[in-house]
């Protein structure tokens, strides 16, 4: 059974069909790419998968569970986490506290315990701090744990957003153009990080990306969107050599 199974997904905005009959099937442990020209509907698909938009039609199943039209928080609890094309960190919080935000669906203490600082509050906070630091070490951010998120360099802000998403303990991680704005060295480091996350966190990853070097270097399979419809899908090398895909990217 596929981890993610999407069938006939569609949505319209003001009469315009933004996504139409979109289908994708991703197996557990895959590193899968979703590519296409600007305006093809890629981020709209992510928004449909994460409950930002409710589809007009179609079905989304995660690990055999129907999550079609569910609220974002319930989809996250079911096992989907994401990053965004435009970084969305809590910039007024520390690096450590940003990751701890992602842990709150796993660690709990009551409001009274928090207000009165009862023993369970300190116990849970200690557990969360330890877990958050473990994640920060993976991304080489542990030395900046007390920094404000807004004071991190751009590339490290990207890494922090991924670390926060992982803190929710997802089954499927959606990365929306994670290499956007990065220089070549940062992109190479990001590729290594994504591979590490897949291999060491037993993670399934779906990413949107325009950097074809990154896509060809880490994605095992691709789906190509154009004008909201699937243009091609299959093994990465086959898709990138498909004349229709080349034509869509070159605009011929």
Average pLDDT score over residue span 159-188: 92
Digit-coded pLDDT (tens) for 136-145: 999 999 999 9
End-to-end CA distance of the chain: 39
Two structure tokens written together for 50: 């994460």
Q: Tell me: pLDDT of 156 over 60.
A: yes
Report pLDDT for 105. 73
Tell me how far apart the alpha carbons of residues 205 and 219 are, in angstroms, rounded to a whole number: 9
Of the candidate ranges 15-19, 45-49, 102-106, 116-120, the one whose mean pLDDT is the lowest: 116-120
Name, in order, each residue with C-beta under 8 angstroms of 111's C-beta and a sequence gap of 6 or more.
Answer: none
Two tokens at 132? 């958050």
CA–CA dist 14, 103 (Å, integer): 38
Q: 1-79+170-252 — its CATH code? A: 3.40.50.300
What b/e sequence results for 176-199 when a residue is b if at least 16 CB atoms lie within 10 Å of its CB, and e otherwise?
bbbbbebeeebbebbbebbeebbe
CA–CA separation, 102 and 66 (whole Å) = 23
Tens digits of per-residue pLDDT, 168-177?
999 999 999 9
Q: Residue holding tokens 């207000």?
A: 115
Domain ranges in the chain are 1-79+170-252, 89-167
> How does DSSP classify residue 151?
G
Task: Give pTM, 2 decimals.
Answer: 0.91
Other C-beta atoms closer than 10 Å to the C-beta of 231 total 19
């Amino acid at each position: 059974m596929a981890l993610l199974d999407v069938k006939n997904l569609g949505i319209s905005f003001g009469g315009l069909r933004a996504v139409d009959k979109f289908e994708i099937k991703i197996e557990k442990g895959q590193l899968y790419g979703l590519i296409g020209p600007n305006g093809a509907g890629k981020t709209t698909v992510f928004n449909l998968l994460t409950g930002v938009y409710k589809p007009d039609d179609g079905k989304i199943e995660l690990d055999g569970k129907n999550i079609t039209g569910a609220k974002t928080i319930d989809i996250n609890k079911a096992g989907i986490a994401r990053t965004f094309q435009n970084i969305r960190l809590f910039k007024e919080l520390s690096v450590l506290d940003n990751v701890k935000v992602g842990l709150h669906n796993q660690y709990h203490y009551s409001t009274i315990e928090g207000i009165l600082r009862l023993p369970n509050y300190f116990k849970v906070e200690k557990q969360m701090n330890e877990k958050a630091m473990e994640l920060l070490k993976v991304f080489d951010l542990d030395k900046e744990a007390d920094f404000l998120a807004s004071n991190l360099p751009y590339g490290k802000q990207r890494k922090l957003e991924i670390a926060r998403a992982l803190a929710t303990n997802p089954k499927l991680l959606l990365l929306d153009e994670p290499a956007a704005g990065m220089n070549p060295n940062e992109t190479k480091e990001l590729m290594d990080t994504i591979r590490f996350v897949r291999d060491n966190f037993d993670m399934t990853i779906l990413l949107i990306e325009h950097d074809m070097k990154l896509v060809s270097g880490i994605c095992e399979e691709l789906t190509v969107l154009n004008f909201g419809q699937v243009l091609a899908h299959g093994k990465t090398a086959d898709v990138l050599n498909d004349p229709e895909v080349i034509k869509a990217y070159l605009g011929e």
